[in-house]
């Protein structure tokens, strides 16, 4: 067992939700009167908490318009037909494989809200796969390492026994800030060159590679 605890980002790492996030944010921005948001700009903020994402995308936005944008984004993401949600190929089988190992712990650290994560846990039937989770609205947004610190305390795992898996520099820098090993996956939003700057211990180009390496 390489690590007693494997911590996963959600959007862009386990679940292919990028299209829905981008479309929902673009629709919300237009409806809030902020205007058009470029696709790459929205992709870049995936992984941050929603307030931090809006502040990055819409610098100087006033509180009223920011709240409207947040509400419209939440509506479109949950209710709108803005892209399917599915696990990346190999993710479900890989997580099941890890879950079958004695003493293996799995967790989620995500920029989603608690309400949003619990909803997708319920809809996908995946909530029971993980021993613990943290969301941006109940602690601090990535790349601050607090959510990782809290997961280690809750699960009683030392930092040297844990690894963070993610598709963005926010995931990897969060782990790097506390000396935790980190794995980059290349099928999400940030390109391999950007991820490599955070010095991951391993870079996976497919879920099968990721879970083979973790299981090894």
Considering the domain architecture, whether residues 39 and 123 belong to the same structural domain is answered as no
Provide the residue range defining the domain that includes 29. 18-79
Judge residue 121's burial from the number of C-beta atoms within 10 Å of its C-beta, 0-12 exposed, 13-18 middle, 19 or more buried: middle
- Angular region, 156: left φ>0, alpha ψ -120 to 50, beta rest: left
Considering the domain architecture, whether residues 106 and 10 belong to the same structural domain is answered as yes
Residue at which a domain ends, from 32, 63, 79: 79
Considering the domain architecture, whether residues 92 and 68 belong to the same structural domain is answered as no
Pairing of the two strands 5-8 and 162-166: parallel
Q: What is the CATH number of the domain that holds 37?
A: 1.10.150
Pairing of the two strands 181-185 and 202-204: parallel
Residue at which a domain ends, from 45, 79, 113: 79
In order, the DSSP letters of 30-67 are HHTT-----HHHHHHHBTB-HHHHHHHHSTT--HHHHH
User: What integer pLDDT is reported at residue 81 of this predicted model?
Assistant: 60
Q: CA end-to-end span of the chain, whole Å? A: 6
User: What integer pLDDT is reported at residue 85 of this predicted model?
Assistant: 84
Considering the domain architecture, whether residues 192 and 122 belong to the same structural domain is answered as yes
Q: Please, which residues have CB within 8 angstroms of residue 133's CB and are 6 or more apart in sequence?
A: 107, 108, 109, 110, 117
Task: Please tell me the distance from the alpha carbon of residue 135 to that of residue 49, in angstroms, as a whole number.
Answer: 8
Beta-bridge mates of residue 6: 106, 163
User: What integer pLDDT is reported at residue 73 of this predicted model?
Assistant: 93
User: What integer pLDDT is reported at residue 78 of this predicted model?
Assistant: 85
User: What integer pLDDT is reported at residue 92 of this predicted model?
Assistant: 97
User: Under a CB-based contact definition with an 8 Å cutoff, are residues 156 and 174 in contact?
Assistant: no
Residue at which a domain ends, from 32, 60, 79: 79
pLDDT in tens, the chain (216 residues): 789 999 999 999 999 999 999 999 999 999 999 999 999 999 999 999 999 999 999 999 999 999 999 999 999 988 876 556 899 999 999 999 999 998 999 999 999 999 999 999 998 999 999 999 999 999 999 999 999 999 999 999 999 999 999 999 999 999 999 999 999 999 999 999 999 999 999 999 999 999 999 998
pTM, entire model: 0.93
User: What integer pLDDT is reported at residue 158 of this predicted model?
Assistant: 97
Considering the domain architecture, whether residues 136 and 116 belong to the same structural domain is answered as yes
Considering the domain architecture, whether residues 97 and 130 belong to the same structural domain is answered as yes
Considering the domain architecture, whether residues 72 and 93 belong to the same structural domain is answered as no
Considering the domain architecture, whether residues 53 and 116 belong to the same structural domain is answered as no
Considering the domain architecture, whether residues 189 and 204 belong to the same structural domain is answered as yes
Considering the domain architecture, whether residues 33 and 12 belong to the same structural domain is answered as no
In order, the DSSP letters of 90-145 are THHHHHHHHHTSTT-EEEEEESS-HHHHHHHHHHHT-GGG-SEEEEGGGS--TTST
Considering the domain architecture, whether residues 52 and 152 belong to the same structural domain is answered as no
Structural domain count of the chain? 2
Considering the domain architecture, whether residues 57 and 112 belong to the same structural domain is answered as no
Helices then strands, each counted (H, E), the chain: 10, 6
Based on its alpha-carbon atoms, the radius of gyration of the chain, rounded to whole angstroms, reads 17
């Amino acid at each position: 067992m390489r690590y007693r605890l494997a911590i996963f980002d959600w959007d862009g790492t386990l679940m292919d939700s990028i299209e829905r996030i981008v479309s929902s944010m673009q629709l919300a921005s237009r409806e809030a009167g902020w205007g058009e948001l470029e696709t790459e700009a929205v992709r870049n903020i995936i992984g941050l908490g929603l307030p931090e994402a809006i502040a990055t995308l819409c610098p100087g936005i006033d509180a009223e318009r920011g709240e409207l944008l947040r509400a419209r984004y939440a509506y479109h993401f949950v209710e709108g037909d803005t892209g399917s949600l599915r696990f990346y190929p190999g993710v479900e089988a890989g997580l099941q494989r890890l879950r079958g190992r004695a003493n293996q712990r799995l967790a989620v650290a995500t920029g989603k809200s608690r309400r949003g994560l619990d909803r997708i846990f319920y809809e996908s039937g995946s909530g029971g796969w993980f021993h613990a989770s943290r969301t941006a609205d109940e602690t601090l947004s990535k790349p601050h390492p607090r959510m990782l610190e809290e997961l280690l305390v809750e699960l009683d795992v030392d930092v040297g026994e844990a690894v963070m898996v993610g598709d963005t520099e926010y995931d990897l820098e969060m782990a790097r800030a506390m000396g935790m090993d980190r794995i980059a996956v290349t099928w999400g939003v940030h390109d391999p060159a950007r991820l490599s700057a955070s010095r991951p211990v391993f870079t996976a180009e497919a879920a099968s590679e990721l879970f083979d390496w973790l299981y090894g």
